[in-house]
Amino acid sequence: MNRDLCVYAGSFDPVTTGHLDIIRRGAAIFPRMIVAILCNPSKKGAFSMEERLSMLKKSCADLPNVSFDSFDGLLADYLRKKEAGIILRGLRNFSDFESEFQMAQLNRQLNPDIETFFLMASPEHVFVSSSAVREIAMFGGDISPYVPAHIAEEVARKLRPIK
Ligand code: PNS
């Protein structure tokens, strides 16, 4: 178990500027970070695992201490496998707090070596979520404030294929 290694897990369907805010700030605190994409076979996302990974990698190319992976099953088990001691999470609001509080408690019961470390979302990212990005893009809205500029067009094209 290693407190120098944190895991930032999520669906990243797609990665948003809110996720990237947490990744960048976390990478400045922890010596090493794994960004781990949840591979959930029962929930088909809008983007494939390869697309999510590629978008994440493109967006974090300048962060040498951040690596990328995918996982299935319990996050607590994934940390055990990687010998990582920290789960990094972002908090946007009170409803995040409720679910995150529960998840942190459960994860620590499942793996007592884990601590969950929270970063408060920067104000400009408080309203950003992957599901909102998907919905805005699907109906032709401008998603450029919510996803990195270099993938905005790619994301919009994928989510609104019929013109
Ligand atoms: O992108 P999200 O929805 O914020 O990510 C949530 C995630 C992937 C961190 C969470 O759903 C998770 O850890 N799933 C793996 C299964 C698991 O460990 N569940 C028990 C947590 S209480």
DSSP H helices in 40-148: 49-59, 75-82, 94-110, 130-138
**C-alpha to C-alpha distance for 137 and 144, rounded to whole angstroms:** 10
**Whole-prediction pTM:** 0.96
Is position 40 within any domain? yes
Burial class (CB in 10 A: 0-12, 13-18, 19+), 125: buried
Is 160 contained in some domain? no
Q: CATH number, domain at 77?
A: 3.40.50.620
What tens digit of pLDDT does each residue of 99-155 get?
A: 999 999 999 999 999 999 999 999 999 999 999 999 999 999 999 999 999 999 989
Which residue lies with its CA nearest to atom 19 of ligand 1?
A: 74
Number of structural domains (the chain) is 1
137 domain residue, yes or no: no
Mutate to test the pocket of ligand 1, among 8, 11, 81 (most ligand atoms within 8 A of CB): 11
Q: Is 91 left (phi over 0), alpha (psi -120 to 50) or beta?
A: beta
Residues labelled as active-site residues: 19, 43, 92, 130
Residue 7 inside a domain? The answer is yes
Structural domain includes residue 57: yes
> Domain range spanning residue 99?
2-120
